[in-house]
């Protein structure tokens, strides 16, 4: 097996110029989400899959390629090619694919077109090296990740267009495999009140108010915010036992009060208030119990305040996940990481939400790898990827397929 690993690593090193050129081209194709125009990047990706000999299909602009082996398990490679908007402030062309000092610049160069490039060339290297896999290798290059994944990988999985035993998901920082993921929940609170003049004594008891008095939604939202801030104080008391990357400080769960809107004039009682927040949990805390505490608080609040008209929406809710590090897949990934980095690399915890939960909820073993360094400016101006990290991630994909489908 060591000889085969060296053969594949050497093959990828020899493909370096081709890998770089392809990555420049895929970065040069805009695939911002919104507006979610993916046809060109999907066709470009499918053409590469066909070129290396894969059976392909495109569903809702999501590209799937299959490499059939003998009897055995099915391994899914994942990468997403949709990106956030380019935004302003760039000093490089966001769709230029420019190379400077060992870096490729462009929107999506790191997040996450690097994973699409890596999975494609990992597969090409396996084929060109004459490796016969025992099982099926499935490549997915999808859209919609930046807006939840419903029309992307969730669509492919729920319609059984993609099925497998394990997934190597390329949407993570470089240098380590990530076998532990945090939980995520997005919550929107909406409070409706009664508009009135600011001097109409809103929310004061009789005899200081009458039927013309307003119902102040911002004042009521303050109580929701105070409850969430008290939850944050509790969260700080529980620290995760799972290892994080160097310089990462996300050892505790957290509620981020992200966005608030309410009112329209300083002399008017606000009749609408909206609060958007995200809840991110360490693996030791489950999302469902936090959701229950929030909803129970809201119900009790409604009993205490007969004028309270509040609704709670939770569009995204995903539990944390911990890989079984004794599984064949976990062992294969760890062996592959050791082959790339020439030393043992332990599994780390990755807190940000990704499409991993769609696989995990279907009991598909999922481990995250990626080419994204902390200074790559994801979701910001002048995004880039280090060429060295791109090549190492390609090797990780290839060796994982070798070791898992050996």
The domain spans of the chain are 2-181+320-404, 183-312
pTM: 0.91
Would you state the pLDDT for residue 71?
A: 86
Would you state the pLDDT for residue 68?
A: 87
CATH fold label, 183-312: Alpha-Beta Plaits (3.30.70)
CATH fold label, 2-181+320-404: Aminopeptidase (3.40.630)
Angle at 298 between CA 295 and CA 301, to 5 degrees: 155
Would you state the pLDDT for residue 1?
A: 62
Q: What is the DSSP letter of 278?
A: E
Checking DSSP bridges between strand 272-281 and strand 254-262, what pairing results, if any?
antiparallel
Say how far apart CA 285 and CA 4 lie, in whole Å: 42
406 residues of the chain, pLDDT tens digit each = 688 999 999 999 999 999 999 999 999 999 999 999 999 999 999 999 999 999 999 999 999 999 988 789 999 999 999 999 999 999 999 999 999 999 999 999 999 999 999 999 999 999 999 999 999 999 999 999 999 999 999 999 999 999 999 999 999 999 999 999 999 999 999 999 999 988 877 777 777 777 778 899 999 999 999 999 999 999 999 999 999 988 788 899 999 999 999 999 999 999 999 999 999 999 999 999 999 999 999 999 999 998 899 999 999 899 999 999 999 999 999 999 999 999 999 999 999 889 999 999 999 999 999 999 999 999 999 999 999 999 999 999 999 999 999 8
**Phi, psi values for residue 290, rounded to 5°:** -70, -40
Would you state the pLDDT for residue 321?
A: 96
Would you state the pLDDT for residue 18?
A: 98
Signed CA dihedral, 153, 125, 49, 377: sign only: positive
Instruction: List, as one string, the DSSP characters of 99-167.
Output: EETTEEESTTTTTTHHHHHHHHHHHHHHHHTT---SEEEEEEEES-GGGTSTTTHHHHHHTTSS--SEE
């Amino acid at each position: 097996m060591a000889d085969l690993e060296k053969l594949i690593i050497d093959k990828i090193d020899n493909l370096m110029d081709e890998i770089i050129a392809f990555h420049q081209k895929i970065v040069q194709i805009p695939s911002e989400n919104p507006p979610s125009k993916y046809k060109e990047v999907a066709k470009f990706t499918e053409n590469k899959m066909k070129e290396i000999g894969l059976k392909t299909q495109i569903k809702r602009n999501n590209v799937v390629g299959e490499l059939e082996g003998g009897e055995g398990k099915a391994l899914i490679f994942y990468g997403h090619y949709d990106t956030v908007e380019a935004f302003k402030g760039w000093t490089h062309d966001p769709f230029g694919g420019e190379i400077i000092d060992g870096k490729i610049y462009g929107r999506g160069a790191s997040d996450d077109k690097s994973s699409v490039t890596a999975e494609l060339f990992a597969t090409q290297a396996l084929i060109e090296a004459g490796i016969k896999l025992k099982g099926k290798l499935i490549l997915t290059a999808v859209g919609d990740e930046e807006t939840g994944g419903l029309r992307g990988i969730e669509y492919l999985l729920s319609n059984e267009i993609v099925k497998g035993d394990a997934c190597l998901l390329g949407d993570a920082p470089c240098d380590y495999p990530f076998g532990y993921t945090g939980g995520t929940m997005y919550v929107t609170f909406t409070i409706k009140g009664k508009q009135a003049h600011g001097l109409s004594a809103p929310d004061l008891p009789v005899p200081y108010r009458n039927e013309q008095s307003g119902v102040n939604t911002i004042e009521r939202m303050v109580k929701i915010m105070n409850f969430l801030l008290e939850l944050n104080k509790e969260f700080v008391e529980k620290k995760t036992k799972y290892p994080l990357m160097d310089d990462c400080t996300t050892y505790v769960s957290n509620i981020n009060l992200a966005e608030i809107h309410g009112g329209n004039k300083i002399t008017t009682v606000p009749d609408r208030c909206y609060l958007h927040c995200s809840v991110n949990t360490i693996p030791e805390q489950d999302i469902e119990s936090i959701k229950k505490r929030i909803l129970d608080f809201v119900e009790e609040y409604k009993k205490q305040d007969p004028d309270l008209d509040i609704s709670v929406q939770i569009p995204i809710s995903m539990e944390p996940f911990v890989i079984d590090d004794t599984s064949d897949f976990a062992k294969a990934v760890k062996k592959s990481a050791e082959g790339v980095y020439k030393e043992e690399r332990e599994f780390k915890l990755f807190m940000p939400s990704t499409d991993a939960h769609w696989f995990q909820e279907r009991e598909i073993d999922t481990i995250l790898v990626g080419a994204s360094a902390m200074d790559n400016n994801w979701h910001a101006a002048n995004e880039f990827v280090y060429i060295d990290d791109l090549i190492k991630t390609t090797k990780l994909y290839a060796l994982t397929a070798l070791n898992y489908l050996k």
